[in-house]
Amino acid sequence: MGTEAVEDDADDADTSDAHDAYDALLDRVRRWNTVGSAAGVLGWDQQVMMPEGGTPARSRQLSTLSSIRHEMITDAETGDLLDTLADADLTDEQAAVVREVSREYERADAVPRRLVEEISEASTEALQAWEKAKDENDFDRFAPHLQRHVELKREYADHIDPDRDPYEVLFEEYEPCLSMERTEAILDELRETLVPLIDAIRASDADLAVDTFEGKFPEDEQEALARDALDLVGYDFDRGRLDVSSHPFTSGNQFDCRITTRFDESDPLAAVGSTIHEYGHAQYALGLPQKHFGTPLGDDRDLSVHESQSRLFENHVGRSRAFWERFLPTFQEQFPETDDATVEDAYEAVNQVYEDNLIRVEADELTYHLHIVVRFEIERDLVRGDLAVEDVPETWNDKYEQYLGIRPDTDSEGCLQDIHWSHGNFGYFPTYSLGSVMAAQLYAAAEHDIDDLDDKITAGEFEPLQEWLAENVHQHGSRYETNELVKRATGEALSADAFTDYVEAKYGELYGV
């Protein structure tokens, strides 16, 4: 009996130690994620509000915050707490937190603080150089910054795992739960489906109403329209705001999530699509559990899941007949010159497949993924050392000609159009296509579970869809890894099947192919 009592006391002590260690770890995680959240606000400000001359100070501010956060993550106490919890009896939620923190700690611990600071400084300086290079069509202005990013990110990957493909290591920064092999297989499947479908569409004699919305549409009126769209889908302006930036993006958390868009006076439909895309990102962030702010349970799963939310709203909602049945009167109230347009005109216009579009963020739903393939192949070869920076413009143009049948006349509409490489975000682009695939699978499941979803959207009732996404995706934060999250929401592992079925049915009907 005495021995049993001693063993019970030991078990109680182990449980108490694990409980204390978990609470201490959670406190540390909240603190370093709060530092990261503050850096995010400064990053948003740099792209939206900061005067041009503020770059030197902002570079130092962001570098310092990155360094502080890195030191907090890699502190010896973090490693000791994770060691204590490695074999502890944890709840499923606690185990998920430890899994996610361990992954972050192991990667961060492998990278010296000096390199973290250099990457942050390089990103701040490269952003300003990229903006000027794009405005002036001057790739040579940006090239040294791109070269520096490539070298720094190769070094970064080498510190984490010198025996693996550096691009694969960097890809895991954005999608840690799906393998590069699985990702490439999905991209290959998309290419195999989309290339012949696009060819058939271009060879068809379908006469879509693609010229219905031609004209000049002032930016201030487009901004009012964008706000109308956000009001319709239910964006919470008490926890967010809409601004303009050179490249649309979303930044924030469940208490404060801000979106940006951009306007082209000749293309108001693009602004509506861009705004709804960013709304999807924001709705995900705003739907994360508030009580878990600053911990993995209150953080998004990864960029593939994030992109699934934006692509779901952009394509499955914003490009649907149901949406335009509801939104077209609002559009026409803002732009009376389009009063003759019908719902079918709007539906055809937002779903036309372009023959000559060079800009990814303005691409149609099908050719979009060929834009992604170009970027994926170029950044992969850059990181692997198979492509020199000075050869990027020509390689970009050649690939556009090969995959899309068009060739950019300028680098501004070519390899300088995206912001991602100014941040050194190599490995980001594949998540856009992964997100589209995931969006189709999630939306198909939502349609199955929600009666008459199209009718609800036409009636302006977005709550059932929002509640379904909140229950099946948002509320879980990073509790489940990507494939498990998708399987729980849809009953099936992630695959491209729902996406290929969706585009073949939709565009087959539109173009008669």
Q: Which residues are part of a known binding site?
A: 277, 281, 307
- Residues making up the annotated binding site for Zn(2+) are 277, 281, 307
Residue 114 CA to residue 111 CA, distance in Å, equals 8
Residue 306 CA to residue 136 CA, distance in Å, equals 32
Measured in degrees and rounded to the nearest 5, phi and psi for residue 388 equal -85, 150
- Decide if 136 is catalytic: no
Q: Are strands 250-252 and 242-244 parallel, antiparallel or unpaired?
A: unpaired
Q: Which of 278, 348, 362, 379 is catalytic?
A: 278
The CA dihedral of 108, 112, 114, 116, to the nearest 10 degrees, is -20
Q: 107 near 78, Cβ under 8 Å?
A: no
Residue 108 CA to residue 105 CA, distance in Å, equals 5
The one-letter amino acid code at 257 reads C
- Which residues have CB under 8 Å from 59's CB, separation 6+? 120, 121, 124, 125
DSSP, collapsed to helix, strand or coil, labels residue 49 as coil
Q: Give CA separation, 241 vs 318, 446, 463, in Å.
A: 20, 28, 20
Q: Which two tokens stand for residue 11?
A: 């078990």
Helices 55-74 and 113-136: angle between axes, nearest 10 degrees: 150
The residues assigned a catalytic role are 278
